Amino acid sequence: QVQLVQSGAEVKNPGASVKVSCKASGYDFTTYYMSWVRQAPGQGPEWMAIINPRGGSTSYAQKFQGRVTMTRDTSTSTVYMELRSLRSEDTAVYYCARRQSYYGFSGYSYFFDYWGQGTLVTVSS
């Protein structure tokens, strides 16, 4: 069965960086794009980044451009998300999520069919 297992909770000082991992199993890792989505306390999900595990190409939300890097290791079926220059507003649960595609009347659309368990990142001095 598909499983996405993330690394543990982190506590960071403002200005520091954090790197979160997500290990995939139960399917062909290179077949599906993977994303990072974060959720601040009491807020809705917010998409951050996506990677094509096959070639490693990435795309980032405008809000995080220059501050986030997403990478992958195909030998271990793991994706990583590094967020730099942390501030208190970055305190959130960070999820990895597998992207699935669907072809309907409007053409292709994309959604997230499997999610990791989440990693709480707390930014506080």
Partner 1 sequence: QSVLTQPPSVSGAPGQRVTISCTGSNSNIGAGYDVHWYQQLPGTAPKLLIYGDSNRPSGVPDRFSGSKSGTSASLAITGLQAEDEADYYCQSHDRSLGGAYVFGTGTKVTVL
Tell me the torsion sign for CA atoms 24, 85, 60, 63: positive
Q: Does 27 bind partner 1 (CB under 8 A)?
A: no
Binding test (CB under 8 A) with partner 1, winner from 7, 10, 27, 61: 61
CB of 75 to partner 1, least distance (A): 26
- What is the C-alpha radius of gyration for the chain, rounded to an integer number of angstroms? 14
The count of other CB atoms within 10 Å of the CB of residue 6 is 20
Contacts of 13 by beta carbon, 8 Å cutoff, 6+ apart: 86, 123, 124, 125
Stretch that binds partner 1, among 18-26, 72-80, 84-92, 99-107 (CB under 8 A): 99-107
Q: Is 35 helix (H, G, I), strand (E, B) or coil?
A: strand
**Residue closer to partner 1 (CB basis): 25 or 117:** 117
Q: Does 5 bind partner 1 (CB under 8 A)?
A: no
Residue numbers at the binding site for partner 1 (CB under 8 A): 35, 37, 43-47, 50, 61-62, 95, 100, 102, 104, 106, 109-113, 115-118
